């Protein structure tokens, strides 16, 4: 579902260059941040309501390397520089829009949440209008993405373009992009060559970004630190903390459908496949690690699920990203899942029991969760990864394979 100012409707253009640029910059920051972290120069700091935030030095350093070195555009203490890349997007075939029917709602929990009408139902009825039915772009729509790069530094342009290709394999575009909605197959690449082995592309890109970062760091006088704490943002890193990868990319067996992977994040489906009444994420109150807020608010009252207890912190996106691809994809058919370990979580979370009839909120069971050290985050993500692997194994009769970092 490509975003628009009207949440229920599809952008008439279908796919905008700004969406491609947003994904590109996110992954560029992750690669640069990973190189900085592995070299000991991404340390972060504790904040009152967030366990770890990047420091001002971290932010400036990443912004300069992404914007000035990789050429994706910069605005900061060193002035402003336009991007070396121009992105043009046009439909290669007509963009066909369709309404989200009940079948989609039942199959994809995230689609159901995107289609919720409660926020505006009353307002629309008062105006004598019906709530608009959610739209989506039909599967199979094709787009041409043309990128013009400055000829100033072909080596750097190649690195930046590979980052974009990796991002398009590991994340979707538009609403619920991290859950794989809006995934794009790469059908053909012209004017630029790239390996058709995604693991190799990630490895080579990581190494080349690391060299670019080291060139920047060679001018610094400060000594690097040690890897004794989590990174303050999601990063593409080869490091391990307590035997848990800071970043890892899975390839799910082809006999597991995207729908099945997508619905791992729905507790009812997860427990059904795992054949348990209560999975460890729920039993240990660790399901917040799958993303916050997980609950729903209706008329200002908390209904159920996990909620951030600090008002100025709006949400925390999932550390899992999904990309689903068909056999037409340049890198082959399958679902890729990337998982990131980082410390940028709110320090105060609470789980609320589901409301029973007219039960007042004060009478409902509530469990406060405080994140005050690395171990809380590490153990929660370790549980989520173990359950994800067990879930896939139940469906496919084989475990998902880690394609990066290489063992």
The strand pair at 297-298 and 301-302 is best described as antiparallel
- Give the pLDDT confidence score for residue 123 in this predicted structure: 47
Q: Given CA atoms 28, 29, 35, 36 in this order, what sign does their dihedral have? A: positive
The secondary structure element, H or E, covering residue 272 is helix 267-274
| pLDDT number for residue 131 | 54
Angstrom distance (rounded) from CA 293 to CA 291: 6
pLDDT at 30: 98
State the average pLDDT for the chain.
84
Contact criterion met (CB below 8 Å) for 308 and 344: no
pLDDT of residue 313: 78
- Identify the three-state secondary structure at position 165: helix
User: In which residue ranges of the chain is pLDDT below 50?
Assistant: 1, 5, 116-123, 296, 298-300
The pLDDT, as a whole number, for residue 403 is 96
C-alpha 150 chain-centroid distance = 29
CB atoms inside a 10 Å sphere around CB 387: 22
Instruction: Please tell me the predicted confidence (pLDDT) of residue 118.
Output: 41
Residues in the chain: 407
């Amino acid at each position: 579902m490509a975003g628009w100012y009207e949440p229920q409707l599809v952008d008439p253009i279908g796919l905008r260059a700004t969406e491609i640029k947003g994904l590109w910059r996110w992954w560029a920051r992750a690669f640069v941040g990973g190189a900085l972290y592995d070299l000991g120069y991404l340390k972060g700091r504790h904040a009152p309501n967030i366990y770890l935030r990047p420091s001002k030095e971290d932010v400036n350093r990443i912004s300069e390397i992404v914007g000035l070195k990789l050429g994706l555009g910069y605005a900061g203490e060193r002035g402003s520089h336009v991007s070396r890349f121009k992105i043009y997007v046009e439909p290669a075939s007509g963009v066909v829009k369709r309404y989200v029917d009940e079948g989609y709602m039942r199959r994809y929990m995230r689609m159901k949440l995107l289609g919720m009408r409660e926020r505006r139902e009353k307002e629309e009825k008062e105006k004598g209008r019906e709530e608009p039915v959610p739209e989506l772009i039909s599967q199979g729509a094709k787009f041409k993405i043309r990128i013009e790069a400055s000829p100033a530094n072909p080596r750097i342009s190649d690195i930046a373009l590979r980052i974009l290709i990796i991002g398009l394999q590991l994340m979707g575009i538009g609403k619920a992009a991290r859950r794989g909605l809006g995934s794009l197959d790469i059908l053909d690449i012209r004017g630029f060559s790239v390996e058709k082995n995604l693991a190799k592309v990630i490895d080579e890109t990581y190494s080349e970004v690391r060299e670019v970062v080291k060139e920047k760091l060679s001018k610094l006088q400060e000594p690097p630190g040690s890897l004794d704490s989590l990174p303050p943002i999601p990063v593409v890193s080869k490091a391990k903390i307590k035997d848990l990868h800071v970043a890892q990319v899975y390839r799910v067996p082809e006999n597991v459908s995207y729908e099945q992977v997508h619905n791992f994040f729905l507790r009812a489906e997860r427990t059904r496949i795992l054949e348990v009444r209560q999975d460890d994420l729920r039993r240990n109150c660790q399901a917040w690690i799958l993303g916050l807020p997980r609950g729903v608010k209706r008329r200002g009252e908390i209904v159920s699920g996990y909620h951030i207890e600090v008002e100025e912190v709006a949400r925390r996106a999932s550390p899992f990203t999904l990309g689903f691809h068909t056999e037409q994809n340049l890198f082959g058919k399958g679902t890729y899942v990337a998982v990131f370990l980082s410390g940028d979580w709110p320090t105060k979370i609470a789980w609320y029991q589901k409301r029973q009839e007219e039960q007042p909120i004060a009478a409902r069971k509530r469990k406060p969760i405080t994140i005050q050290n690395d171990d809380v985050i590490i153990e929660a993500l370790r549980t989520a990864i173990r359950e994800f692997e067990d879930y896939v194994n139940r469906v496919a009769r084989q475990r998902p394979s880690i394609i990066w970092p290489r063992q």
